[in-house]
Structure 1
Amino acid sequence: MSGDTVQIPDDRAFLNFKSECNSKEGWNLTYDKSGITVWVQILEEEKSLHKIKCRIVNKDVSAETMYDVLHDIEYRKKWDANVIETFDIGKLTVNADVGYYSWRCPPPLKDRDVITLRSWLPMGSDYIIMNYSVKHSKYPPKKDKVRAVSIQTGYLIQSNGPTSCTLTYLAQVDPRGSLPKWVVNKSSKYLAPKAMKKINKACLKYHEWKRRHNPRYKPWLYPEQNSLPSIPLSELSIQHADSLENIDESGLSEAKEERGECSDEEAN
């Protein structure tokens, strides 16, 4: 995206995202254990800007189930303890919408929130969900949270058979706040693997939960079920990081207790 022009990703954008998920060039391996791998690219050391890529091989979860779990925001409120609030704002096309997501960060950091344009696409037996930050006049930054910026964040789900899949999470996020280096290190060596394990566990419990909670409602598969109001692209603009207040958290020291996770955003 360039300037303030909001665009709905086309097939080329999805292919480029998939290619980057599968690429090894320029990535530094930071974690490799128990079927979970994490890589990081440091983009700007002084601003803590980085890309993170995390992959997990799920031997007991189908690609279809993973796709449902990552879409179902009602279920996310059930399994993700870091969620403060999440909701859909409106739809753009049959496979693109705009939503709000806020999440808890470990102390002493401030909690974050984000407004994103999310799009999704099945590609044969694989699936992609990805997003980037936009601005909407009805949802300005809140005083009690730091508005983060998703430059590009998403999931690639690749089928390994009827009951197995590989999930790759790729995020380039400006969390604002001039985060201290320990946050970047912690996210790549501890928080990202922990988050992937939580997603895997959530998938194992999804069918039983969904059976009791509107089991046929899956608007990401059946667009005719989507009752969200339509949003014209003219109401949206690109969220640039430099237009947001920058809260300097670079001098904060790591808290001893664990409370939540300041993840690199959710592909909500």
Structure 2
Amino acid sequence: MVKVHSVFHNVSPETMFDVLHDPEYRKDWDEHMIASIEIGYLNPNNDVGYYSLACPAPVKNRDFVLQRSWLDLGNEKFILNHSIEHKDYPPRKGFVRGISILTGFILRPADSGCFLGYVSQTDPRGKLPPWLVNKISQKFAPKVVKQLLTAAEGYESWKASQSNPKQKPWIYPEQTLQSPRVSISEVTLQELYFPRKHSVSLQLRKYP
């Protein structure tokens, strides 16, 4: 399990909430992403998506089918996901299907900025030795947090330049009707198993 917390100065929780959601903007800042596909929505606060990412050689690339949930309570904003199975997105050749047991963000206002808490318990599956999983996690999590800071600083100007800057279904529930509807009968929980224990805990308090 990886745990990270940090404070981003001059970035609002609202902007960070948008950055974490916006699928088009993720193509710009997420250098590990191969593909991100919106499968559809279950209800205005839950959607289903496919995500694949590149892993450093000799590790095979990973992919995930995820149910994502979110809630904006004003002073606290939550985004959570976990792995599921969808009948139209079976395991693909050339990828190892990973499992997100629980991945989540919490955002709160902080002095002149935003507090971000991040936790991820993920089973990458495949034949990876524990020492390699730990080493990759120790480098990957802080790097993602730094990427988020840079992404958040550029988001507002990027969004304003888009053809539909008000397109934010995570804020405006009526916009979810533009996406396919996923029936609960199409998805099932992904089978979880724990062949080995991997545990990494990181406490990152400040970034310049």
What is the TM-score normalised by the length of structure 2? Answer: 0.88
AA in 1 matched with 2:182:
I
8 Å Cα contact 1:71-1:220 kept in structure 2: yes
Task: Please list the CA deviations of residues 116-136 of structure 1 after superposition, one character each: whole Å capped at 9, or x if unmatched.
Answer: 110000123111000111111
8 Å Cα contact 1:176-1:241 kept in structure 2: no
2:194 equivalent to 1:240: no
Structure 1 unmatched ranges of 5 or more:
1-50, 247-268
Counterpart CA distance in 1 for 2:151 and 2:87 is 34
1:58 alignment counterpart = 8
Distance 1:193 1:171, change over 3 A: same
Counterpart CA distance in 2 for 1:52 and 1:224 is 35
Counterpart CA distance in 2 for 1:191 and 1:143 is 24
2:54 alignment counterpart = 104
Where in structure 2 are the equivalents of 1:7-22 lying within 5 Å?
none
Cα distance, 1:186 vs. partner? 2.2
8 Å Cα contact 2:65-2:84 kept in structure 1: yes
2:181 alignment counterpart = 230
Of 89, 110, 116, the residue aligned with 2:66 is: 116
Cα distance, 1:200 vs. partner? 0.4
1:210 alignment counterpart = 159
1:16 alignment counterpart = none
8 Å Cα contact 2:51-2:65 kept in structure 1: yes
Moved over 4 A (4+): none
Counterpart CA distance in 2 for 1:189 and 1:174 is 15
Identity %: 47
Please provide the CA RMSD for this pair: 1.5
Cα distance, 1:241 vs. partner? 3.8
2:168 equivalent to 1:198: no
2:19 equivalent to 1:69: yes
Counterpart CA distance in 2 for 1:134 and 1:188 is 22
What is the TM-score normalised by the length of structure 1? Answer: 0.69
8 Å Cα contact 2:19-2:155 kept in structure 1: yes
Of 91, 95, 99, the residue aligned with 1:149 is: 99
Of 36, 39, 60, the residue aligned with 1:89 is: 39
> Helix, strand or coil for the counterpart of 1:204?
helix
Structure 2 unmatched ranges of 5 or more:
196-208
Q: How many residues are matched?
A: 192
1:181 alignment counterpart = 130
Counterpart CA distance in 2 for 1:241 and 1:148 is 10
8 Å Cα contact 2:6-2:117 kept in structure 1: yes
- Work out which structure has the larger RCO, using CA pairs closer than 8 Å and 6 or more positions apart in sequence: 2
Cα distance, 1:188 vs. partner? 4.1
